[in-house]
Amino acid sequence: MSTTQEYLNWLIRDAGLIELCHMAHGKLDVGWYDNAANLLHDARLMARSGNLFTTINRIDLEAIKGYLTEHRRVVPGKTCRTPDQAVTRHCRLFFDFDSARPTGTSSTTCALAEAETRAHGLVRRLAAVGWPAPAIGMSGNGWHLQYRTALPNTPEVKAQLAAIYSGLHREFSDDAVTFDRTVRNPARLCCLYGSVKRKGPSTVERPHRQSWIKIPKDWKQVHPRQVAALADYFARQTADRAPKRDARPVGAPAVSGRGDYTRLDVLAWFGAHGAYVGPLVGNKHGVRCPWSAEHTSSSPKTGSDSIIYEADGGWPGFHCSHSHCDGRSIRDVMSLWGDADAYCSGEFVREVAHV
């Protein structure tokens, strides 16, 4: 295993500046560091409660100057996070295999082992197309892969990452393990390895665990061409599978059900999942987001941060304004719950071509 100091040395070398985040008792404290020893010193002072995270990509110092305190250290109550647009370069491709578990709890040993198997499967899959070895981490509740890279934060790279993460999500997610396709945004946080991950109460079956990472001796970068080739592979796969009617945007999951989703009773469906909150205006309704456990801030009572739209000719809609849910649509909810067909008043009838 690598020490936290070694991990931070690599991160300073590649990213230059690191944001450290301490989340405890529903509060967030943030600071920025260009020195691994200073970061480690401050992290140790806070390590006894909550959870510690850092950024993994290169931040433009000029872009966040307004936020920096004199010493850049974590200041209690300082809650401004690094915005995505302040990141100039992706230094890591971060892949997260999360074990399925009840909201707000830690993983069982068995579920964690399943996530490990999945993570090693991806290492083999990418090694087969020439990718170098990644750092492999245990986050406390799941397994991480960190591939070193150097990709500019551009719309082109954003589209490549969207294709890769949703492609890997299709290949590696099921009921037991989720490949988290949301962890691709430039200012994404990752746990500070060496710190303890605390989710829910620590029990014999679901203990809090100390995270760790193992960095390869010769941690090589994945070439931008390799990243582009993988993105291209998944983008073509998506184009091949997309139904002709209601074309699916890149990154959205395939929906294979038989229901006519223009006749999906979206209110009854969310109601059945205990996720309906109440009407807003027009055809909009507040709901409890199916991924609310991933949100970093709490929801207003009206549920206006997460909404559904009743169908108006096409499919009904879903939108959540939390950054963790960026890009998620009604298709993601269908894929998550898998029972939308039962709430449709009819089956989808494919048009038969007349020859």
List of residues contacting Zn ion (CB under 5 A): 289, 291, 320, 322, 325
Tell me the C-alpha distance between 162 and 160, whole Å: 5
- Of 199 and 328, which has the nearer Cβ to Zn ion? 328
- Of 110 and 293, which has the nearer Cβ to Zn ion? 293
Q: How far is the CB of 271 from Zn ion (least distance, A)?
A: 18
The sign of the torsion formed by the CA atoms of 45, 294, 149, 61 equals: negative
Tell me the C-alpha distance between 157 and 224, whole Å: 9
Q: How far is the CB of 321 from Zn ion (least distance, A)?
A: 8
The set of residues, in sequence order, having a beta carbon less than 8 Å from that of 6 and lying 6+ positions away, is: 215
Indicate the burial class of 247 (C-beta count within 10 angstroms; 0-12, 13-18, 19 or more): exposed
- Of 101 and 322, which has the nearer Cβ to Zn ion? 322
From 42, 178, 184, select the one nearest 119 (Cα to Cα). 178
- Of 74 and 334, which has the nearer Cβ to Zn ion? 334
Q: How far is the CB of 320 from Zn ion (least distance, A)?
A: 3
Q: How far is the CB of 100 from Zn ion (least distance, A)?
A: 18
Which pair of tokens denotes residue 156?
């082109």
Q: How far is the CB of 328 from Zn ion (least distance, A)?
A: 7
As a whole number of angstroms, the longest Cα–Cα distance in the chain is: 74
- Of 49 and 302, which has the nearer Cβ to Zn ion? 302
Q: How far is the CB of 292 from Zn ion (least distance, A)?
A: 6
DSSP string, 167-219: HHHHHH-SSSEEE-TTTTSTT-EEE-BTBEE--S---SSS--EE-EEE--TT-
Torsion angles phi and psi, residue 8, rounded to 5? -70, -35
- Of 64 and 277, which has the nearer Cβ to Zn ion? 277
Q: How far is the CB of 116 from Zn ion (least distance, A)?
A: 27
First to last CA, the chain: 65
Looking at this protein, which amino acid is placed at residue 171? E
Tell me the C-alpha distance between 197 and 211, whole Å: 7
Question: DSSP code of 248?
Answer: P
Cβ count within 10 A of residue 299: 19
- Of 213 and 325, which has the nearer Cβ to Zn ion? 325
